[in-house]
Amino acid sequence: MEGVIERLKRDLQDEEARYVYADTVTNAFVAAQIKGLREERGLNQEQLAALIGTQQSGVSRLEKADYSAWKVETLRKLAKALGVRLRIRFEEFGTLPDEIGGFDDKNLLPRRFEDDPVFKRGSSSGRRPRIRTSRRPRTSQFRQRTVPNGIPRKPAAATTQDIGRAPMTGTVSQLGEIVHGR
pLDDT at 6 over 90: no
3-state secondary structure string across the chain: CHHHHHHHHHHCCCHHHHHHHHHHHHHHHHHHHHHHHHHHCCCCHHHHHHHHCCCHHHHHHHCCCCCCCCCHHHHHHHHHHHCCCCCCCCCCHHHHHHHHCCCCHHHHCCCCHHHCCCCCCCCCCCCCCCCCCCCCCCCCCCCCEECCCCCEECCCCCCCCCCCCCCCCCHHHHHHHHHHCC
Residue 121 located in a structural domain:
no
Between 39 and 4, name the one with better pLDDT.
39
Residue 120 located in a structural domain:
no
Structurally, the chain folds into a number of domains equal to 2
Boundary-marking domain end, from 84, 115, 146:
115
Band of pLDDT at residue 31, cut at 50, 70 and 90: very high
Residue 146 located in a structural domain:
yes
Residue 87 located in a structural domain:
yes
- Asked if 12 and 93 touch (Cβ cutoff 8 Å), the reply is yes
pLDDT at 52 over 90: yes
Q: Give the structural domain span for 31.
A: 2-115
Band of pLDDT at residue 162, cut at 50, 70 and 90: very low
Instruction: Identify the pLDDT of residue 127.
Output: 52
- Do 26 and 88 belong together in one domain? yes
Boundary-marking domain end, from 85, 115, 145:
115
Q: What is the pLDDT of residues 145-160, one digit of tens each?
A: 333 444 444 333 333 3
Boundary-marking domain end, from 115, 143, 173:
115
Of 16, 92, 32, which Cα lies nearest the Cα of 67?
32
Residue 123 located in a structural domain:
no
> What mean pLDDT, rounded, does the chain reach?
75
Contacts of 112 (CB under 8 A, 6+ apart): 82, 83, 84
Which of 8-12, 34-38, 93-97, 160-164 has the least mean pLDDT? 160-164
- Do 152 and 108 belong together in one domain? no
Q: What is the pLDDT of residues 90-145, one digit of tens each?
A: 999 988 888 888 888 888 999 999 999 998 876 555 554 444 433 333 333 333 33
Residue 122 located in a structural domain:
no
